[in-house]
Amino acid sequence: MEKELLFKTNNIGKIYGSNTVLQGINVEFHRGEIVGLIGENGAGKSTLMKIIAGVTDASMGTMEMNGKPFKASSMMDANKYGIGMVFQEQSLISNLSAAQNIYLGREKDFSTFGLVNWAKMNAAARAALDKLGLSNISPAQKISDMPFAMRQMVEITKVLDIVSETANDRALILLDEPTTVLTDDEMKILFEQVRLMKEKGNCIIFISHRLQEVLDLTDRIYVFKDGHLTGEVETKDADEYKLYEMMVGRETNGEYYVSQRQTVPTDDVVLEVENLAMFGSFKDVSFKLHKGEVLGLYGVEGSGKEDVCAVISGDEGKTAGTIRINGKEVSFGSPSDARKHGILSVPRDRRDEGIIGILPISENISVSNYGKNATAGLISNKKQTENANGWIKELGIKCEGPMQRINALSGGNAQKVIFARVLDSECPILILDHPTRGVDIGAKGDIYSLIRDITEKGFSVLLMGDTLDECLGLASRIIVMKDGLVTAEFDCPADNKPDQVEVVQKML
Amino acid sequence: MEQKNKSFKTFFIQNIYILSAVLVIVVFFLINNSFLSLYSIQNMTTELAPLLPMACGIAFVLYAGSIDLSIGAVASAVCVITGLNVGEKGNIMILYMLLFGVMIGLINGLLVSKGKLPSFIVTLCAQSIYRAIAIILSNPHGGGSKNIPLKQRVVVNWATNKVLGLPILFWIAVLILIICIVIERKTAIGKSIFAIGANEKAARMAGVNVTLTKLCAFILCSVGAAIGGIMYTYKLKSSVPTIGDNLYMMAISSVALGGTLFSGGKGSALRTLVGVLTVTAISSGMNMAGVNPLWKNVVYGIVLIAAVAINSEKGGRDLIIK
Amino acid sequence: MNLLSKKDVKSMTIAEQFVSKVEQEALSNKIRVYAPMILLVIMTIVFSIYDSHFFSLKNLVNVLGQMAVPLILATGLTFVLLLGRIDLSVEGVMGLVGSAISLLLLNSRNSNDWGVWGVILPLVLGTLCGFITGFLHVKLKIASFIITYAISTIVSGVAVLLYNSQPATVKAQWVIDASQTYFLKIPLITWIAIIFYIICAIILNYTAFGRAVYAIGDNEAAAVASGINVQKVVIEVFVLSGFAASLAGLVALIRLKLGQVSLGENQMFPCITALVVGGTSLSGGKGGMLQTMVGILIYMELLNFLTIIGVSADYKNAIQGVIIIIAVALTITRGRKVIAK
């Protein structure tokens, strides 16, 4: 049965600075269809969704909705065409009721002389909720009093209501990982609603890391990798293993990750973690980090690996378990404590947590170790500048000089400054949290060889790779996490890297 | 060409503080030629002396991206306490009052850094507390503030004696300025203050001890305010419980005029000095030109808004807009 | 109970832990909403036991008679605090409007007698101050506390200049009458305050504008995505706060009949204390008119009680400072890691 075409893209692409995150995407969505989008973190599926929903612009390509050219400058604009997106992070106002949230910004329809008729609005919200079979939600209930799943339903109702105003049952609804925080029962309800919307002729796009859900719910699946559309498959022809294979794709050769210089871990344990837990995020995490090794930590976003990293770097507090450094038990209250114990991190969010934007490069490098350039407590600015010059030369940072502000640098060069900072601190244990995120290809190569350099010097690295390929390529051992638990551990010697499909199976 | 224009514009904005200082001085000189006479300059340096430590002190809190609204009240309280006791206890009161300043900064700083409370609300409360202390001590029987002249002026007279033609108070202020310059350029704590002001999250992740650094910024600020208060006692030779009411506006306008970024991370004590000079010149100049002194607050308010608006980093990470 | 939950933690899956975390948050939010009301009841009971006159009709009327100015100011400030902003200019605006009215009506300083315009024009002037504050805050992107502090200094400076250090006594007969008018034993000015409060409560709870205020304070990005013109709403809120301060200036003038800057002195601080104690969060989005009224009542009772036991005005200010820090510490929503500015 051929379904009516609702929406299509022609060669859509997106470039951030010198980074191409999405290229040549041609997808089609039909009425009465549920389409799954899968791929690793950063594969480009979220970027595509944002472009369709009007959150960001496409750098190239065109789109069509209902056979007419489509271009949205904002989310509200996209709503007018009948396109709505439900975000991972909820965008509800917690102190307002369900009805008030659903009609936020559209109160005019219920007003006389500027006063809103709440009864009328609640009745409309009742109808909107009933349409989705959500009779258990009261329109007058405050969002802050609702369980999480119910909030998600309100959010979906809101989006659907806005969209159906203009596109009666010709809506395109984007669900970005709506199930991560839901329990099994709640998920069943959500799936029922989604199928109901489909029956009526709407198209739903479903993004999820849980492949079983995708297989259960969707009719068709698009697979993304590294900003490209790498596959399309009818759900009835697919199983989990096939999807794994499609997601993983071709492997990069060892040369790219300078594997010939990969160190063999010594028996010297520098950091040991036992039964570490953080309430609501992860538990029972144990591992050992040896001197001179790169230990990879991998899992999908939300698997708890971010928080493991945050606890070890002192950014968050643990709720149970022990951390030992060189056999001695330690506990940190802040990253500054962790630094004193020899642990420092290259944070994931460079703009927000990495660079100190309005300060010059030299200050950015010295901030973790002022003492290095000081005598009797007084810092020599001359020494500090010389020190910065040394790092600029050693790491090949392209800049006007050590006094240039760091926010004038490109992503790759700014990241090298952050590397200079952690190396300058002389901390022997480094946490590299997505060290190549938003970095152009040339700088990526530099960072890979830099990681080899420092492990050769005896530094130990805990790595959260940006992609599985990268994580496997760099690490000598990796730990896989899923839903807050460690699910597997793989040895990754330079000449015998584990099969990616095998790893992916453990993490999804 | 366009880039050249742009860099000229940045250069202009970055150095507008010097221009404004020169402009103010020239204008008042044209209005009244005795504005730059020796007598007038001596007068201005006496005026400037207490303001400089206060401005340099609060600048540290601003570098760190916070605010301290209590410095005027702290100066008032210190002025009253010093005035009431210096006759009996002698100049050792200075030391006590410095410790008092450390204590105040410690309390403010702990509430802000450990208690994670917004600095403006903490210091607004502190303001009302220290203002009340000043008034109650000056007039324990109730009924509002009262100025009390010192009983034994001999103890404090040294401060207004002149060395090289300028009062000792001024030289002390200069010494404090130098100390502030050393702190901000040469010490880890000074540099950390700038780092947390520029990007607190990043500084934290880089291993800067944010709590300690904030604490130090508030202590430096309150000590600056305390020094200001002591200097007023020595200068006016009496306890004035309302002395701080207008000082806050003068101090913060000075810092803003010096180009310190109110969102934190940028500024210097030398620039603050220029700001203090400008504000003092405005104040003295208006006096000499015979302008109603009631205009001063209006002028400072406008100067403050203009200076903050010109110096804010439009393109940068200027986050506090709430 | 505690033991049981501890055992649960071990066997819970991460998803269950997450859900229980969210539920706990919802519970503590609920407690935060009701705590001030419970506090009000407890205070009333304790004070009544301590002094039997406290819970008398006479004392109640006394309390109500004094609450006109704080209620009007707090009503206006509620909107500002809900946005997560602050307005430190209300004292200055009060002083300015009061002084201006006193000079335009029949008074002891000059021969003006502008009648009704003598009230309307200053009210417009004060409201305009609110507009300027909001406009500069939004367009120049200057933090609200600094811009309102500066505006406060400017307008109180202008006010003193208006009467040039010699405040005018109002001689207009209707002002004198108004100050002596009582209705149900409660002064007219308190009725004005109550009417203003009710109108603002309707605006906050029954208009799109009111919803937008909550939305911006809670989640500015979501408000923008819902098509709310944030800049416009913020300016409107400062206009409203400016008008409230002006009205408070008029009311204070009717009470004292002397037009001077000190009409506004020590007025803002109690209001912020009351709002925060009532449960309005300084970080925005939480609170409302009911909370404002509860906060004002708590504050008025406390003030009344302190007067009964003989604490002087100077100490009251210091006590307020301590109360507000404690209340803010209990109610503020803290960023996960970052210390508030």
Distance (Å) from the alpha carbon of C254 to chain B's nearest alpha carbon: 23
- DSSP secondary structure letters along C152-169: HHHHHHHHHHHHTT-PEE
Q: Average of pLDDT values for A75-86?
A: 85
End-to-end CA distance of chain A: 32
A323 pLDDT higher than 80:
yes
C338 touching chain A per CB within 8 A: no
- Quote the mean pLDDT of chain C: 85
- What is the per-residue pLDDT for A294? 92
- Give the SS3 label for residue B241: coil
Q: Which residues pair with B166 in a beta bridge?
A: B163
pLDDT tops 50 at residue B111: yes
CA dist A470 and A474 (Å) reads: 6
Give the pLDDT band (50/70/90) at residue B141: confident
> Residue C308 and residue A485: Cα distance in Å, rounded?
62
pLDDT of residue B261: 85
Select the residue from A344, A355, A359 to test the B interface by mutation, using most B Cβ atoms within 10 A: A359
Would residue A185 count as lying in a domain?
A: yes
Chain A contact for B265 (CB, 8 A cutoff): yes
Structure tokens at A466: 């940006």
Contacts of B133 in chain C (CB under 8 A): 318
CA distance C170 to C260: 11
The ranges assigned to domains in chain C are 46-280+287-330
Is the four-CA dihedral B50, B320, A151, A117 of positive or negative sign? positive
Q: Does A433 touch chain B (CB under 8 A)?
A: no
Strand pairing category for A460-464 and A429-433: parallel
Cross-chain CB nearest to C338 (options B201, B295, B302): B201
- pLDDT tens per residue across span B244-273: 888 888 999 999 888 888 888 888 999 999
Distance CA B207, CA A338 (A): 7
- CATH number, domain of A67, equals 3.40.50.300
Query: Per-residue pLDDT for A11 more than 60?
Result: yes
Q: What was the pLDDT predicted at A90?
A: 67
Q: What is the DSSP string of A146-172?
A: S-HHHHHHHHHHHHHHHHHHHSTT--E
Chain-wide mean pLDDT for chain B?
A: 86
- Residue ranges per structural domain of chain B: 18-311
Is pLDDT at A297 greater than 80 in this prediction?
A: yes
- Spans of chain C below 70 pLDDT: 1-10, 331-341
pLDDT, tens digit, for every residue of A120-148? 999 999 998 887 778 888 999 988 888 77
What is the Cα A283 distance to its own chain's centre? Answer: 21
CA–CA separation, C262 vs B242, rounded Å?
14
- DSSP 3-state percent helix, strand, coil across chain B (nearest 5): 75, 0, 25
Q: Nearest CB to C227: which of A105, A114, A316?
A: A105
- The DSSP result for C183-219, as a single string, is ETTEEHHHHHHHHHHHHHHHHHHHSHHHHHHHHHHH-
Report the percentage of chain A scoring pLDDT > 90.
Answer: 33
State residue B19's pLDDT score.
81
pLDDT band at A89 (very low <50, low <70, confident <90, very high): low
Question: Is the pLDDT score of A471 beyond 70?
Answer: yes
pLDDT at position B57 is 95
Give residue B6's pLDDT band: very low, low, confident or very high (50, 70, 90). Answer: low
Query: Taking residues A465-481, what's their average pLDDT?
Result: 87
Q: Give the pLDDT of residue B313.
A: 63
- Best interface-test mutation with C: which of A80, A95, A148, A161 has the largest number of C CBs within 10 A? A95
Mean pLDDT for B13-17 is 74
Position A361 pLDDT exceeds 90: yes
- The 10 Å CB-count burial string (b at 16+, else e) for B78-102 is bbbbbbbbbeeeeeebbebbbebbb
Query: Which residue pairs, CB below 8 angstroms and at least 24 apart, start in B29-36?
Result: B31/B285, B31/B288, B31/B289, B32/B285, B32/B288, B32/B289, B34/B288, B35/B284, B35/B285, B35/B288
> What pLDDT was estimated at residue A205?
92
Task: State which H helix or E strand residue A271 sits in.
Answer: strand A269-278
- Range of A207-211, A236-240, A357-361 with top mean pLDDT: A357-361
Higher-scoring residue by pLDDT: B147, B225: B225
Q: What is the pLDDT of residue A181?
A: 65
The secondary element (H helix, E strand) that includes residue A278 is: strand A269-278
- Complex ipTM, two decimals? 0.85
**pLDDT, tens digit, for every residue of A115-126?**
899 999 999 999
How does residue B318 score in pLDDT terms, banded at 50, 70 and 90?
very low
For position C334, what pLDDT does the model report? Answer: 55
Burial (CB < 10 A; 0-12, 13-18, 19+), residue C337, is middle
Quick one: pLDDT at residue B5? Answer: 61
Side chain identity, residue A260: Q
Helix (H) or strand (E) holding B39: helix B38-63
What local confidence, expressed as pLDDT, does residue C174 receive?
86
Residue A251 confidence (pLDDT): 59
The span from the CA of A409 to the CA of A430, in Å, is 23
Residue A220 lies in a domain: yes
Say whether pLDDT at B319 is over 60.
no
Give the total number of structural domains in chain A.
1
Is B261 in CB contact (< 8 Å) with chain A? Answer: yes
B291 Cβ under 8 Å from any chain C Cβ: no
Mean pLDDT score, A415-436:
92
Check: CB of residue A235 under 8 Å from CB of residue A34.
no
> How far apart are alpha carbons A275 and A343 in whole angstroms?
19
Average the pLDDT over each of A36-45, A100-109, B48-57, B276-285 and give the range with the smallest value. A36-45
pLDDT value of residue B317: 39
A312 in Cβ contact with A273 (< 8 Å): yes
Task: Tell me if B305 and C140 make a contact (CB, 8 A cut-off).
Answer: yes
pLDDT at residue A264 in the model: 79
Q: CA-nearest residue of chain C to B321? A: C143
More confident residue, B78 or B21: B78
Nearest chain A Cα distance for residue B264, angstroms: 10
Say how far residue C223 (Cα) sits from the centre of its chain. Answer: 24
- Non-local (6+) Cβ contacts of A119 within 8 A are none
Class for the domain spanning B18-311:
mainly alpha
In angstroms, the CA B174 to CA A495 distance is: 68
pLDDT at B180 over 90: yes
Rounded to 5 degrees, φ, ψ at B118 are -65, 135
Question: Which of C9, C207, C219 is opposite residue A279, by nearest beta carbon?
Answer: C9
A347–B202 C-beta distance less than 8 A: yes
- Residue A353 is given by DSSP the state I
Does the beta carbon of B155 lie under 8 angstroms from any beta carbon of chain C? no
Separation of CA B130 from chain center: 17
Per DSSP, which regions of A293-400 are E strands?
294-298, 320-325, 328-330, 343-346, 374-375, 378-379
Q: Residue A426 contacts by C-beta under 8 Å, 6 or more apart in sequence?
A: A369, A372
Q: How do A282-290 and A294-298 pair as beta strands?
A: unpaired
* Domain span holding position A78: 5-89+162-248
Chain B residues with CB inside 8 Å of A357's CB?
Answer: 198-199, 316-317
| Contacts of C152 by beta carbon, 8 Å cutoff, 6+ apart | B301, C88, C89, C90, C91, C92, C93
Query: CATH class for domain C46-280+287-330?
Result: mainly alpha
SS (H, E, C) A112-129: ECCEECHHHHHHHHHHHH
Between residues B177 and B10, the one the model is more confident about: B177
Select the more confidently predicted residue: B78 or C110: B78
pLDDT digits (tens, 9 = 90+) for A13-30: 888 776 778 888 899 999
Chains that touch C (3 or more CB pairs under 8 A): A, B
Which of C74, C76, C100 has its CA nearest to residue C263? C100
